[in-house]
Amino acid sequence: MKKIIFLSLAIAFTGIFVCTISHAQREVELYNPAGVRADGVYVDKLLKKTMNELGKRRPPLAGDFPDGRIEKVKIESDLFTEVNDLFYGRGWTDGLPIVPPTRERVEGMLRGTDLSSDFLITAVDPMMGQATVEKIAVNAVMAGCRPEYMPVLLAATEAIMDPSFNLRGMATTTNPDIPMLIVSGPLVRQLGINSGTNALGRGWRANATISRALHLIIQNVGGSWPGVTDMSCLGQPGEFAMMVGENSEANPWEPFHMELGHRKAANVVTVIGAEGTHNILGIGQGPEGYLKLVADHMAGMDRAARSVMLLIIAQDTAKMLAGHGWTREKIRQFISQNGKMPFWKYKERFLDTGMARMLGGVPSWVFETKDPNAFIPVPFVEQFLILVSGGPGEKSMLIPGWAGSKAVSREIRLPGHWLELLSGKTKVQ
């Protein structure tokens, strides 16, 4: 009888002990992902003021956090769930779960560069939060990046603030534009960036997390908040991630980045203000038939002019074109010469609506045209870029760029300990 009583007390005591341990608070150090301006003001504080003026109530905890790089947070039970709830309430996530930016994880991410953590890469529009190496690393952790992705992310963050990219306009427009990333060079293979089958789709960590991290930087450091500063009418899924690599093995022409002025052996990241994707089915087409199809697709779009247009050609079609002597420049010329519409339709669509003058990029001679049957090129394109990517098949893709933005590229600088980083000796804890 005594043994039974003792055993019951022991079980009861153990249950109380386990219960006490499971509900015991613990303190965790988390890095703050929000941008700080050069004047020391957090962009969130300014965004909260704008929210009050607009009568906005989301995110509910906007600006509600202690000043400082690192915050000590008391966790009741589950770190992942509680940090995600807290950060979501403060407007620091994209709606998907994030990885908590603990001290150990951020320090691990910083091993992906040999720059000091306080080194300023750039200030990010629209609110001009300062993107230091540390702030970039914090958002990289949250997005699920590996340390070896940091060089790409640092270069991309610098690229989006080139004046010709016009991030301020892109981050605040009602149009559904987002920064799309293209990586070309040996780094595509080294980092496992998908440039083959389903190149713009799911399933590849590098593509998904590097692009996601850049969008979090624009949101958290730059202060592009949906409904507050980001006024996109509909938005688009590319706001979560949109990144692709050049398929160098299947590319019959010079590397993509050489057209943008970089040396052949360089690793380069290019940013494009993408509006969306437009599929082109080229099955059964010869070279000229395929290119006429592309021209027809372009002429059917809603803009009289484009600052940039990206044509992604899959490997089978690229091989066919190159085999018949087509170069990138010949392709561009042919499409430009064949993508036209009669002036009467052009006038109805672009002149009478005022779109051609409002958005710009249309030559003056077009406005002076009198013959209703004269053919007008559509659209006028300032940068017509051609990328080889994707797996086997005859599907191509047009990605029109936002009218107010040009493609910008930056060479990716690798740290001195790059080979050690790739070997896996440097990992996020």
What local confidence, expressed as pLDDT, does residue 23 receive?
54
What local confidence, expressed as pLDDT, does residue 358 receive?
87
The amino acid occupying position 262 is H
Strands 178-184 and 243-245: parallel
What local confidence, expressed as pLDDT, does residue 425 receive?
52
Regions of the chain short of the pLDDT cut 70: 1-24, 425-429
Q: Are 314 and 197 in contact (CB under 8 A)?
A: no
Per the structure block, which two tokens stand in for 39? 């004047």
The amino acid occupying position 386 is I
Among residues 313, 97, 220, 62, the alpha carbon closest in space to that of 54 is found at: 62
Distance CA 35, CA 220 (A): 6
Compute the mean pLDDT over every residue in the chain, rounded to the nearest whole number.
92
Strands 408-411 and 305-313: unpaired
Per residue in 316-368, pLDDT (tens digit) is 999 999 999 999 999 999 999 999 999 999 999 999 999 999 888 999 999 99
Distance CA 299, CA 41 (A): 47
Per the structure block, which two tokens stand in for 303? 């803009």
Q: Are 215 and 136 in contact (CB under 8 A)?
A: no
Q: Three-state DSSP class for 171?
A: helix
Per residue in 27-58, pLDDT (tens digit) is 999 999 999 999 999 999 999 999 999 999 99
What local confidence, expressed as pLDDT, does residue 10 receive?
42
Report phi then psi at 234, rounded to 5: -120, -25
Distance CA 110, CA 137 (A): 6
Strands 278-281 and 305-313: unpaired
| Burial of 41 per CB tally in 10 Å (0-12, 13-18, 19+) | middle
Distance from first CA to last CA of the chain, Å, rounded?
A: 51
